[in-house]
């Protein structure tokens, strides 16, 4: 089992300079709101995924008045085998190294370490549009399938270039269709592979979702998910050809796997429209725990489970159910945040030897 042993932050978010150790299976970061609890979790996530969980851009992760940050951590597989992971951002350039070796591309680090974050705003995964659900699936598959990550990068690059070409064509600045044919070939090859992987993923992921929802809710609802894609009906190459007039009109690519979605179901109905707030919370936690189970199975390692103020949002029954799950033998290292240290100590009463406290 790979464990995070310590982490050092320099000019990352609100941390000028700080070092923290993780000596127990469960570590709770305690402090008032605004003290930096979530920022510390985000630093751990950034080391695993090369980017922040909470910010699409790098700027908010850099301390005000500075030009960059550095995060460094020690991971260990056992007492003898340890390695250092470092993430440095300076003057608009990000650099990741592992064991002293700097990656040529940031994407080369993806899949080395896994983490699963559960945060209060994650309910948007259920309530908002399809983009968040695609990112949820893409993040999972990119962690455990290098070919998927490469295909995703190729697809997104070709899509961006094709959309730019369509805008140029509308202004009369692009002539001929040679470039369009090239973009379509790349989209067809990479997009068809993404579609096949996503379709297969649903079959492997659904049992985890059903298992964890039952454990969390104790209810009789049946949950599931359906992968929605135009490619179920027609090959991507034909879709692109058939929708070309529409693409010219809107100056963007209207069909493809970048429009895919996941329909999240409870008793056969979309939970987004028919689920109660309590059911949505249980479904969300089941999704994230299923992500944990899926990554563990595919990567043959326990991801780090990061829980940001989740006990603040849960009723007693769901909190107790979640605690039973994360304290089971199936789970590895857990790092969580809470504003009330006494609540966490009470939750782990009787076995505080597994609990470490970081006070901010």
The DSSP bridge partners found for residue 115 are: 304
Is 31 annotated as a binding-site member?
yes
Is 34 annotated as a binding-site member?
yes
d(CA 22, CA 2) in angstroms, rounded, equals 12
* Residue bearing the bigger pLDDT, 256 or 352: 256
Is 32 annotated as a binding-site member?
yes
| HEC string for 10-74 | EEECCEEEEEEECCCCEEEEECCCCCCHHHHHHHHHHHHHCCCCCCCCCHHHECCCCCEEEEEEE
Is 38 annotated as a binding-site member?
yes
- Rounded to the nearest 5 degrees, what angle is found at the Cα of 60, between the Cα atoms of 56 and 64? 165
The answer on pLDDT for 65 being more than 90 is yes
Hey, is 284 helix, strand or coil?
A: helix
From the candidate CATH numbers 3.40.50.360, 3.40.50.300, 1.10.1660.10, 3.40.50.620, the one assigned to the domain spanning 1-114+301-360: 3.40.50.300
Average pLDDT over residues 214-224: 87
The answer on pLDDT for 184 being more than 70 is yes
Band the pLDDT of 343: cuts 50, 70, 90: confident
Average pLDDT over residues 145-164: 97
pLDDT digits (tens, 9 = 90+) for 79-130: 668 899 999 999 899 999 999 999 999 999 999 999 999 998 999 999 999 9
Judge contact between 107 and 149, C-beta under 8 A.
Answer: yes
Band the pLDDT of 329: cuts 50, 70, 90: confident
Is 65 annotated as a binding-site member?
no
**Distances 249 to 166, 173, 207, 243 between C-alpha atoms, Å:** 9, 16, 42, 10
Band the pLDDT of 298: cuts 50, 70, 90: very high
The answer on pLDDT for 200 being more than 70 is yes
**Rounded to 5 degrees, what are φ and ψ at 359?**
-105, 130
The answer on pLDDT for 180 being more than 80 is yes
d(CA 148, CA 155) in angstroms, rounded, equals 10
User: Where do the structural domains in the chain lie, given as residue ranges?
Assistant: 1-114+301-360
The per-residue pLDDT for 175 is 67
The answer on pLDDT for 174 being more than 70 is no
Enumerate the H helices of the chain as residue ranges: 37-49, 124-127, 130-144, 146-170, 178-217, 236-242, 244-250, 271-274, 277-299, 316-326, 341-347
């Amino acid at each position: 089992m790979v464990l995070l042993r310590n982490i050092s932050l320099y000019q990352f978010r609100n941390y000028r300079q700080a070092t923290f150790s993780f000596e127990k299976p469960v570590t709770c970061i305690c402090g008032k709101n605004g003290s930096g609890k979530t920022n510390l979790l985000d630093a751990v996530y950034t080391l695993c995924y090369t980017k922040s969980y909470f910010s699409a851009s790098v700027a908010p992760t850099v301390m005000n008045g500075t030009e960059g940050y550095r995060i460094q951590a020690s991971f260990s597989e056992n007492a003898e085998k340890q390695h250092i992971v470092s993430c440095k951002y300076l003057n608009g350039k990000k650099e990741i190294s592992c064991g002293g070796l700097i990656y040529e591309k940031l994407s080369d680090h993806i899949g080395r370490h896994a983490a699963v974050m559960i945060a209060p705003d994650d309910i948007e995964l259920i309530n908002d549009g399809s983009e968040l659900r695609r990112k949820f699936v893409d993040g999972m598959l990119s962690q455990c399938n290098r070919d998927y990550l490469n295909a995703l990068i190729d697809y997104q690059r070709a899509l961006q270039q094709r959309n730019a070409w369509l805008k140029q064509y509308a202004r009369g600045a692009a002539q001929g269709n040679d470039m369009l044919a090239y973009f379509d070939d790349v989209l067809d090859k990479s997009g068809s592979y993404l579609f096949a992987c996503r379709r297969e993923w649903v079959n492997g992921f659904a049992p985890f979702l059903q298992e964890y929802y039952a454990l969390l809710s104790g209810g009789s609802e049946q949950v599931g998910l359906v992968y929605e894609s135009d490619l179920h009906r027609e090959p991507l190459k034909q879709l692109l050809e058939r929708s070309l007039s529409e693409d010219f009109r809107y100056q963007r690519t209207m069909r493809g796997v970048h429009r895919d979605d996941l329909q999240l179901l409870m008793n056969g109905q979309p939970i987004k429209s028919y689920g109660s707030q309590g059911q949505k919370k249980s479904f969300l936690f089941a999704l994230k725990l299923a992500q944990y189970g899926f990554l563990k199975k595919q990567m043959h390692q326990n991801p780090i489970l990061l829980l940001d103020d989740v006990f603040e949002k849960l009723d007693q029954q769901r909190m107790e159910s979640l605690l039973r799950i994360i304290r089971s033998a199936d789970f590895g290292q857990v790092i969580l945040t809470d504003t009330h240290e006494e609540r966490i100590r009470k939750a782990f009463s009787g076995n505080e030897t597994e609990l470490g406290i970081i006070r901010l």
